[in-house]
Amino acid sequence: MNKDLIQHIVDYAIEREKESNNFYTRAAERVSDRSLKSIFQELAAEEVSHKDFLEEFLRTGATEIHISDFDDYNVSDTVEKPKFTEEMSFVDAVALAMKKGEVAMK
């Protein structure tokens, strides 16, 4: 894969990480439940770490990312993507995060 294509793909991924961070940050600000607020704050921080990883990848000039094998139990395939609401349940918040992660991976 040529460097221009890698740059384009990683730039695209970085923008998606920023969007996800903004979504989770706004969600944390809108919910009143402390547990949900904490979950959304943690998810926002995770998106920042993904963005930082991708930016470092570009800085190093690397051309490959090695990801360790992992078991995918396809749990997100078993749930529907709920709509965000300020009163959503913990289970719906986790389902929303799983579905957003599934889309991001694709």
pLDDT at 105: 76
Which of the 8 DSSP states describes residue 83? P
C-alpha span between 105 and 20 (Å, rounded): 12
pTM score, whole prediction:
0.84
C-alpha span between 24 and 44 (Å, rounded): 5
pLDDT at 106: 75
C-alpha span between 73 and 103 (Å, rounded): 16
**Domain total for the chain?**
1
50: its two tokens: 């993904």
- Write out the chain's pLDDT in tens, 106 residues: 788 999 999 999 999 999 999 999 999 999 999 999 999 999 999 999 999 999 999 999 888 888 888 888 888 888 999 999 999 998 999 999 999 888 887 7
pLDDT at 76: 87
Domain range for 82 is 3-105
Contact indicator for 46, 13 with CB cutoff of 8 Å: no
pLDDT at 69: 87
C-alpha span between 51 and 92 (Å, rounded): 25
pLDDT at 18: 97
pLDDT at 53: 96
